[in-house]
Amino acid sequence: MNINENHSLKELERLKRKIEKQIEAKKSTRQDNSVLYNLIKKDHEKHRRDDGRKVFRGVVDYLECYVNGLPPVAKGAFYKKFGMEGKRTKITTDVIREVKELISQGSTLSKAASTVGVSVATCQKIKKGDYDS
């Protein structure tokens, strides 16, 4: 048995204990964020429309505002506030008629979608007949 090997094993064990103590110290000083859950939930509940529906689809959308440094405002109101248009187009009878005309003239779905201002998937649904009522 070599004395140097025994000495290095003792040193490694000492370092192991030291690291374990540091890990325990980190765990004990970790902030408990579960306390904030009820505050967030109550604040999220305050944001409701006049008819009682929720403004946000979920807490994630609500928290996304805080992460981005914005006040919690519904996306529709946010777009209106800053003069932007929403991403979704309202599918009206005029849109349906226009898409059907373009498709019947031999236009591709992507060309019809870009002309009218709707998605290719919406054009495909119109072609399939999902929007016929």
| Torsion angles phi and psi, residue 48, rounded to 5 | -130, 155
Instruction: Tell whether pTM > 0.75.
Output: no
Per-residue DSSP letters for 66-83?
HHTT-----HHHHHHHTT
DSSP 8-state secondary structure symbol assigned to residue 48: B
Task: Tell me the pLDDT tens digit for each residue of 64-93.
Answer: 766 776 666 666 666 666 666 666 678 889
Q: 93-104 and 120-128 are packed helices; what angle lies between their axes, rounded to 10 degrees?
A: 80
> Cα–Cα distance between 56 and 37 in angstroms, integer?
17
Task: Output the furthest CA–CA distance in the chain (Å, rounded).
Answer: 92
For residues 49 and 61, give the distance between their C-alpha atoms in angstroms, rounded to a whole number.
Answer: 16
Give the closest residue to 98 by CA, choosing from 72, 123, 124: 123
User: How far apart are alpha carbons 42 and 44 in whole angstroms?
Assistant: 5
Residues recorded for the chain: 133
Q: What is the per-residue pLDDT for 119?
A: 87
What is the residue whose two structure tokens read 């591709």?
108
What integer pLDDT is reported at residue 1 of this predicted model?
A: 45
Q: Is the pLDDT score of 126 beyond 70?
A: yes
Domain edges within the chain: 1-30, 33-81, 93-128
Average pLDDT score, the chain:
76
